Amino acid sequence: MSTDATGLFTTFDINGVTLGNRLAVAPMTRVSASDEGTATETMARYYERFARGGFGLLITEGIYTDRAFSQGYLHQPGITDEAQEQAWRPVVEAAHRHGAHIFAQLMHAGAISQGNRFRETSIGPSAVQPKGEQMEFYYGKGAYPAPEAMNEEQIADAIEGFAASAARAVAAGFDGIEIHGANGYLIDQFLTDYANRRRDRWGGDTRQRTTFVTAIVEAVRAKAGPGVPVGVRISQGKVNDYAHKWPGREQDAEVIFGTLAEAGISYLHVTEHRAWEPAFKGGPDSLVALARRYAPQVPLIANGGVQDRARAQEVLAAGADIVALGKAALANPDFPNRIQAAQELAGFDHAILGPIANIKPTELAA
């Protein structure tokens, strides 16, 4: 744990990968891949700016994992065939050129898929219509249709998709794998009581609902090999249910974080709207503090609402090892260099993400 003024700029080791500092770029979907889901030169230039700007770790946007039901958005990148795998190489090389490490975030959209060139319909743990509305800045509109409940074969295929994609990510040169277990996507649907009504081994109480994510961790670990960090991202809130809180509160945190620690993950990535605030009404502890308590030996990345140096240090002091920045990184792709030089930071302008959230030429001009 680092509380000193220079803590942000100390190295940190995750499963043998030594990050240059404690500042990471949070995963952000920017729907800028080709029609075929290959990463583009624009994307390589976009990621390169964060590396040049001093971030020790870049976590990619959510990458889809199979050619069936995983894709969530039109122009989302995938890593499911040779062409998609190769297209990531320039992105990885751009990060490495400036001394940053880069982890691939693997994502299956499940019931909240709103654009998939391989399928017209969606699948989820149970046939429960998702809350919320599709995101227009990702080419969606209106309610989400109800998904089909996954059968055993579809569950096995989804797990295999994560494993095969992890192998491709390692082959493309990525330094680590982040399994997207947060924000309302398929893995989070399995974790969530109201989205997972299954009575088989994939559903039940909180512990039982972790079966899917731990099966994915195991499969990914087997394919990625022992030297590659394999982490999991976890949240309470969802893109389609922003204010969701775990009904079992701290007990759910204990089960979820404890089970992931037992499963042997290399790091945990927790995200909340404001990382430093109490996770539950009336309780004192942030999700960062709870992750530290219930997964004490596991390296911890924390994300949510951090906009400046003081807040980043506060989150480290609360127990995180790494702080990930989303909007503040979009506004300041050179955030680490700026705070080290005591330069002023720019505020985030939402216009960057409109009307579509794709990478804008103005971002690359800087």
Ligand X SMILES: Cc1cc2nc3c(=O)[nH]c(=O)nc-3n(C[C@H](O)[C@H](O)[C@H](O)COP(=O)(O)O)c2cc1C
- Determine the Cα–Cα distance for residues 326 and 267; give it in Å rounded to an integer: 19
- Buried-state track 219-254, b at ≥16 Cβ within 10 A, e below 16: bbbebbeeebbbbbbbbbbbbbbeebebeebeebbb
Going by C-beta distance under 8 Å and a sequence separation of 6 or more, which residues neighbour residue 40?
A: 32, 33, 34, 87
CB 155 within 8 A of CB 202: yes
Closest CA to 47 of 122, 123, 101: 101
Indicate the angle between helix axes 287-294 and 249-262, nearest 10 degrees.
50
- Supply the minimum distance, in Å, between the C-beta of residue 153 and ligand X: 27
CB of 348 to ligand X, least distance (A): 8
- The least CB distance from residue 185 to ligand X, in Å, is 8
Q: How far is the CB of 107 from ligand X (least distance, A)?
A: 6
Of the candidates 76, 66, 70, the one whose C-alpha atom is nearest the C-alpha of residue 139 is 76
Q: Which lies closer to ligand X via its Cβ, residue 12 or residue 64?
A: 64
Q: Which is nearer to ligand X, 61 or 321 (CB)?
A: 61
Which of the following is catalytic: 73, 138, 185, 294? 185
CA distance 70 to 284: 37
Task: Report the residue number, 30 or 101, with the smaller CB distance to ligand X.
Answer: 30
Helix axes 82-97, 41-52, angle to 10 degrees: 30
Cα separation, 104 vs 220, whole angstroms: 12
Assess whether the previous peptide bond of 355 is cis (omega < 30° from 0): yes
Which residues here bind ligand X, judged by CB under 6 A?
26-29, 61-62, 105, 180, 182-183, 233, 271, 303-306, 325-328, 353, 357
Q: Give the CA count within 13 Å in the CB-facing half-sphere of 161.
A: 26
Nearer to ligand X, 203 or 229 (CB): 229
Instruction: Verify whether residue 294 is a known catalytic residue.
Output: no
User: CB-wise, 175 or 198, nearer to ligand X?
Assistant: 175
- Which lies closer to ligand X via its Cβ, residue 198 or residue 238? 238
Catalytic annotation, residues: 185
